[in-house]
């Protein structure tokens, strides 16, 4: 009995054994992307360690990983700050996203086209359900729910295409894009436009029309970069290169922290 209980405890411990650094990284990354931690905000290792009840070592590991992702900037002798949104990295991420999502949407439409008419509705209903969720979130001004449904819509297209890892790659690359998108969500007009764009993509997929689906996705993604210029104008301190982006005389280091 004792051995059995010990084996059970070991399995339970394995399930729960999430390294502190990974948990802290995930929480900080989410806070940065959702703008709960605004660009330019200082991060204090000591305060974070106290909040999590850990030493500063896992906090430093988490911060170094965020620095590798260019979500924080480490300034020796000054401190660690949430990075400004990098416009060049937004552009690079959108090149990657555009290429992968246009491929995914074509393959999703092709899969529907190759499916018997009676089975097509079941394939595309998850997309339509997510659009309904977005409409409900839009009416309620539930911005977090709207964003979650948006993410799920794009992931579902990758799943339907038979390439779920496409969305994993995109998600990793689009952190700076997401920060821009969170700034646009309060706009009623932008949310309305996103819903209409998603509906156009879903309708083309449902019709099994790969060309129309790709064109609809390209139009949807093409709205991101022009919107960034407006965001830079309205939030200059949030973007890389804006005044006060660096403490005077500081040189940023990505991935190397001073003890």
Name residue 75's beta-bridge partners: 79
Structure tokens at 71: 């979500």
pLDDT tens-digit map of 57-113: 999 999 999 999 999 999 988 899 999 999 999 999 999 999 999 999 999 999 999
Q: What is each CA distance from 111 to 80, 153, 156, 197, in whole angstroms? A: 47, 17, 13, 21
Residue with tokens 């156009």, as numbered in its chain? 200
**The pLDDT of residue 81:** 96
Mean pLDDT value across the chain = 87
Give one DSSP letter per residue of 9-37, joined into a string: HHHHHHHH---HHHHHHHHHHHHHHTTSS
- Mean pLDDT, to the nearest integer, of 242-247? 37
CB 150 within 8 A of CB 170: no
- What confidence tier does 229 reach under pLDDT thresholds 50, 70, 90? confident
Residues 169 and 151: their CA atoms lie apart, in Å, by 13
């Amino acid at each position: 009995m004792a051995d059995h209980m010990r084996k059970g405890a070991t399995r339970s411990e394995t399930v729960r054994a999430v390294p502190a650094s990974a948990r802290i990284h995930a929480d900080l990354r989410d806070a940065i992307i959702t703008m709960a931690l605004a660009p330019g905000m200082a991060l204090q290792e000591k305060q974070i360690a106290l909040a999590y009840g850990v030493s500063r070592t896992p906090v430093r590991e988490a911060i170094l990983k965020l620095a590798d992702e260019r979500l924080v900037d480490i300034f020796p002798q000054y401190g660690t700050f949430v990075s400004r949104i990098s416009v060049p990295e937004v552009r690079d991420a959108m090149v990657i996203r555009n290429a992968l999502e246009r491929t995914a949407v074509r393959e999703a439409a092709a899969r529907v086209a190759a499916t018997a008419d009676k089975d097509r509705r079941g394939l595309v209903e998850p997309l339509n359900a997510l659009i309904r969720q977005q409409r409900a979130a839009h009416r309620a001004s539930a911005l977090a729910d709207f964003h979650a449904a948006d993410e799920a819509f794009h992931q579902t297209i990758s799943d339907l295409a038979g390439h779920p890892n496409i969305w994993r790659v995109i998600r990793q690359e689009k952190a700076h894009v997401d920060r821009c998108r969170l700034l646009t969500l309060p706009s009623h007009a932008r949310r309305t436009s996103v819903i209409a764009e998603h509906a156009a993509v879903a309708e083309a997929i449902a019709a099994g029309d790969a060309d129309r689906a790709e064109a609809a996705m390209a139009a949807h993604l093409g709205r991101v970069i022009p919107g960034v210029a407006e965001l830079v104008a309205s939030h200059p301190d949030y973007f890389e290169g804006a005044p006060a982006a660096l403490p005077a005389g500081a040189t940023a280091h990505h991935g190397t922290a001073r003890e």
